[in-house]
Amino acid sequence: MKRLLLLACCLLLLGENAEAIKAYDIDLPETASVSGETLHLNGYGLRKKFFFKIYLGSLYTGQKATTTKQVLSQPGPKLIRMDFIHSKVGRKKIVDAFAEGFQKNSPRLVGKPETKQFLALFKADFIEGDRVDLTIAADGSVSARHNDRELGSVSSAELGQAVLLIYLGKKPADDDLKEGMLGQNP
């Protein structure tokens, strides 16, 4: 009986480890549910600015993708998750970083109403331990959550692609983060 109990405990512990990856003391689940669909952790990486660690970024997709083209062409939802490591990142810095990402990868959207609406969703600073989810729905619309609090959504397939390009475009926010999200982790 004791052996059976010990075996059951070992299996439970192994099962927990198989369900999440730990990186920078953050548990990254191997799957996430979006609109009733199960997405799989495609990859993750660290967003750094100078020598500061800002957040751990992860990408969840329906199918494994190793290129930006594969991610963009996949049907169904996608999830970008940011788990903040830095003590505090001001709202203005986040909004400016998103705006810079649009400028570098999707300049045709700069100043457009949907871009302004997306940037206006972010009204608070982000602190260590915060989680921000950007969900790109199957129709391309984008919704944002901060610590499980819905910030809002913007219906624009073009914006959905542009948000993905901030991280995965030709001029990404961070080259190492892009590689990590595309599954090229160390």
Instruction: Give the tokens for residue 129.
Output: 């331990």
Inside any domain, residue 14:
no
Tens of pLDDT, residues 30-81:
999 998 999 999 999 999 988 899 999 999 999 999 999 999 999 999 999 9
Q: What's the rounded mean pLDDT across residues 5-17? A: 39
Inside any domain, residue 162:
yes
Cβ contact 122:150 at 8 Å: no
Inside any domain, residue 10:
no
As a whole number, the mean pLDDT across the chain is 90
Burial of 152 (0-12, 13-18, 19+ CB in 10 A): middle
Least confident stretch, 6-20, 46-60, 136-150: 6-20
Inside any domain, residue 11:
no
Q: What is the CATH number of the domain that holds 172?
A: 3.50.70.10
Closest by CA position to 165, among listed 125, 111, 116, 107: 107
Cβ partners under 8 Å of residue 142, min gap 6: 118, 134, 135, 136, 153, 154, 156, 159, 160, 163
What's the confidence (pLDDT) of residue 185?
65
| pTM score | 0.88
Residue 171 belongs to domain spanning:
21-181
Closest by CA position to 142, among listed 110, 124, 119: 119
Inside any domain, residue 15:
no
By DSSP bridging, strand 142-146 and strand 37-49 are unpaired
Q: Which residue has the tokens 């059976």?
A: 4
User: How many CA atoms lie within 13 Å of 178's alpha carbon, on the beta-carbon side?
Assistant: 17
* % pLDDT > 70, the chain: 89
Domain count along the chain: 1
Amino acid at position 76, single letter: G
